[in-house]
Chains A and B, each alone.
Chain A
Amino acid sequence: MSDLLNVTSSPHVRDKWDTQKIMGLVVISLLPASIFGICNFGVRALIMILVTIASCVASEWIYEKIVHKKSTISDLSAVVTGLLLALNLPHTLPYWMAALGGVFAIVVVKMLFGGLGQNFMNPALGARCFLLISFTGPMTSFAFDGTTGPTPLALLKSGFPVNTMDMLLGRTAGTIGETSVIALIIGAVILILTGVIDLRIPGSYIISFAVFVLLFGGHGMDMNYLVAQLCGGGLMLGAFFMATDYVTSPITPSGKIIYGIILGVLTGIFRIFGASAEGVSYAIIFGNLLVPLIERVTVPRAFGIAREKKEADHE
């Protein structure tokens, strides 16, 4: 028997889930949308995905080499960022712009703030907005079936009818990963069933957005309009995969619901009263900024404290 025993503080056992497994599962859950995007938009979409992932992982590795930090690329979070970024880009974007977006996401949004867990803004969305501002033309030009055309939401905004069945399936113009609601929902179900995310954020986001659209959308109870709003513009991608980003969303249970409602309302404001047809990215980025405040006002009351407070009130 060895005389040297390990002595540590309890507990002495650990769950099987670690960061790498969670991130790996997020990648898997994004595969249906990615594969659909590739089928929908062709091989250029596949190359775009590979370019952004490579750019993100390489940026993280090189940055950590330069500042003499231990490499963290094996936690797969850079892969998730790269994949999410690609799914948020039109497949026609020049590759170098996509690669630049990856560098921005990792170096500026994530690493400069301290790396994984420290960034206050979703890296993929930060990069998307950076690209939107820098290269507005290529970022807002969408093509489908070889011809350039507007996205369903842009059509809707201009008062044209849209085919909601095409939007559910994803046979429309848009970014690589946002078009197919069905593919996104399959991924979301994977995340929910495996406990990676829960419904607090996406549920409150989607419901509050739907209520906002019904109240202020100007189309009354027009269900076709509502479904088009829910299926279009990356709302599903944003609600299930971007708003639920652990690092940039509140950790408190009630904070998650408040955060979701804020995102729903902001998306509604941007889409209905703003100049652009879409608003998910900006809503989430803005919501990210409010997270510390939301957490401060939603510190959960500890077990047994509520009862004491209630009794004190009675006395």
Chain B
Amino acid sequence: MGLKTFKGGVHPKDGKDLSKAKPIKELLPEGELVFPLSQHIGAPASPIVAVGDKVLKGQKIAEAGGFVSSPVYSSVSGEVKAIEPRRVAVGDMVNSIIIESDGNFTEVEYDEADDVTKLSREEIIDRIKEAGIVGMGGAGFPTHVKLSPKEPDKIDYIIANCAECEPYLTSDYRRMVEEPEKLVEGMKIILQLFPNAKGVFGVEDNKPDCIEKLSALVSAEPRMEVCPLMTKYPQGGERQLIYAVTGRSINSRMLPADAGCIVDNVETMVAVYNAVKFGRPLINRIFTVTGDAVCEPRNFYISIGCSYRQLLDAAGGLVAPAQKMIAGGPMMGFALFSLDVPTTKTTSALLCMTKDEASLYETTACINCGRCVEACPENLVPSRLADYAEHKDMATFEKWYGLECVECGSCSFVCPARRPLAQSVKTMKKQVLAEKRKKA
């Protein structure tokens, strides 16, 4: 039997060798840290500190702005310098709290739980919510909302997304190699919430050491198992992962819970463990600085809120001029226009490349080769969708299932005519959804 996977997908150069052997190193931030109030899907958090206030590391500085929202904590001790809109990595201006570190990292006392197994469902969810945990793989969906489905008894799969299918990224890999027990503990806590669920760690087979370590750890856990997956992008896409592990397929109008699944990535599960066991808020994460333009590619244990520039400096700066810098991986990351933007709960990497392949090639005419169709994990026809997008033909775009696009970028990657297919489809998707909201 072959390895579990999904239909479609691509095999970009993985680039993980640059940083995969580098142990996680703690990086203490200096100077000014920026905490955007919107690092998640949902209502922005509202500040509960004022300019001039002294704050401690681990102190709450903004309260959740609703149920689908998440609080924000300071990752350093120091003084609130300003509360003002700041530019973030994706280009938006977001209201942010700016804190000048005093360099002491004086930390608040956390409320540790003596016995996690004695905590009630509500207590666990509340501790996760209070800690400000959101999906740290990139989506930023508040985790306490995800863990509160309408019918918890119907959830039969908790899937840890250990695929890390984005090229170059190694933060989840390092976490699994160095601290796999924390991940397993996080899974244990989530399984406590769902009595009928099985915990599955979905790991791509390019990480045999992780599969080995996790397998050893879960051998004593009757409710957990490790599921090796074929190494293929986007194996870690939520819908693709669910399909590979369970054989169930969901579409854009369904939640994983509709198929009895809940998916959380590695860092999120570790954060759940830290929050529920130790009462620690989400103020740190693992972060990869890599790319052929980086002097010393590294994996850092960072304080969320420090700037990308500090991280690049800590990795020895650039060895060669970088043509492109990306927040995240090369397939779905955001191109940065400046390094003076803050890291957030959802950013996992800084990738600096000497060559920008995306603008290297000229776009030519579509030859109808169908490579995008073969690559699309959602079984779409990207080249046609891009045509409909260019002609602003919303009806046909929807009829050809344009709204099902998961924006993985596989179509643009394979296109021999170098057409920006994913970009066209993404833009059109936004327009169609906006139009629908207007009508509703």
Q: Residues of A with Cβ closer than 8 Å to B?
A: 1-2, 5-15, 17-19, 21-22, 72, 75, 77, 115-118, 246-247, 249, 251-253, 256, 299-308
Going nearest first, the 10 A-B pairs with the smallest beta carbon separation are A304-B251, A11-B409, A302-B401, A9-B423, A302-B404, A117-B365, A304-B249, A7-B335, A6-B356, A13-B330
One of A2, A10, A17, A303 near B251 (C-beta < 8 A): A303
Cβ-defined contact, B12 with A6, below 8 A: no
Instruction: Name B323's closest neighbour in chain A (CB-CB).
Output: A6
One of B239, B325, B335, B400 near A10 (C-beta < 8 A): B335
Once A7-B337, A9-B426, A12-B358 are accepted as A-B contacts, the answer to whether A246 and B368 lie under 8 Å apart by CB is yes
Contacts of A5 in B (CB 8 A): 322-325, 335-338
A257 to chain B, nearest CB (A): 13
Cβ-defined contact, B370 with A14, below 8 A: no
A242 to chain B, nearest CB (A): 15
Q: Give the distance in Å from the alpha carbon of A300 to the alpha carbon of B384 in the complex.
A: 12
Interface size on B, residues (CB 8 A): 74
Q: Give the distance in Å from the alpha carbon of A303 to the alpha carbon of B364 in the complex.
A: 29
Contacts of B199 in A (CB 8 A): none
Contacts of A300 in B (CB 8 A): 373, 379-381
One of B249, B318, B335, B401 near A8 (C-beta < 8 A): B335
A146 to chain B, nearest CB (A): 41
8 sample A-B contacts, Cβ–Cβ < 8 Å, listed by A number:
A1-B318, A9-B335, A11-B409, A14-B360, A14-B412, A117-B367, A253-B373, A303-B377
B154 at interface, CB cutoff 8 A: no
Instruction: Name B253's closest neighbour in chain A (CB-CB).
Output: A308
B54 at interface, CB cutoff 8 A: no
Once A5-B325, A307-B248 are accepted as A-B contacts, the answer to whether A75 and B356 lie under 8 Å apart by CB is no
Once A5-B325, A18-B361 are accepted as A-B contacts, the answer to whether A303 and B330 lie under 8 Å apart by CB is no
Instruction: Name A256's closest neighbour in chain B (CB-CB).
Output: B370
B13 at interface, CB cutoff 8 A: yes
B418 at interface, CB cutoff 8 A: yes
Q: Give the distance in Å from the alpha carbon of A85 to the alpha carbon of B317 in the complex.
A: 57
Q: Give the distance in Å from the alpha carbon of A115 to the alpha carbon of B417 in the complex.
A: 14
Q: Give the distance in Å from the alpha carbon of A5 to the alpha carbon of B341 in the complex.
A: 14
Q: Could you mark each residue 1-15 of chain B with 1 if its beta carbon is under 8 Å from any beta carbon of chain A, else 0? A: 000001100101100
Cβ-defined contact, A304 with B409, below 8 A: no
Q: Give the distance in Å from the alpha carbon of A251 to the alpha carbon of B353 in the complex.
A: 34
B118 at interface, CB cutoff 8 A: no
Cβ-defined contact, A6 with B335, below 8 A: yes
Once A14-B418, A252-B373 are accepted as A-B contacts, the answer to whether A305 and B401 lie under 8 Å apart by CB is yes
Once A1-B322, A306-B249, A307-B248 are accepted as A-B contacts, the answer to whether A115 and B167 lie under 8 Å apart by CB is no
One of B243, B367, B423 near A22 (C-beta < 8 A): B367
Q: Give the distance in Å from the alpha carbon of A304 to the alpha carbon of B353 in the complex.
A: 36
One of A1, A17, A307 near B416 (C-beta < 8 A): A17
A288 to chain B, nearest CB (A): 12
Once A1-B321, A5-B324, A246-B370 are accepted as A-B contacts, the answer to whether A15 and B337 lie under 8 Å apart by CB is no
Q: Give the distance in Å from the alpha carbon of A206 to the alpha carbon of B239 in the complex.
A: 37
Cβ-defined contact, B368 with A17, below 8 A: no
A32 to chain B, nearest CB (A): 23
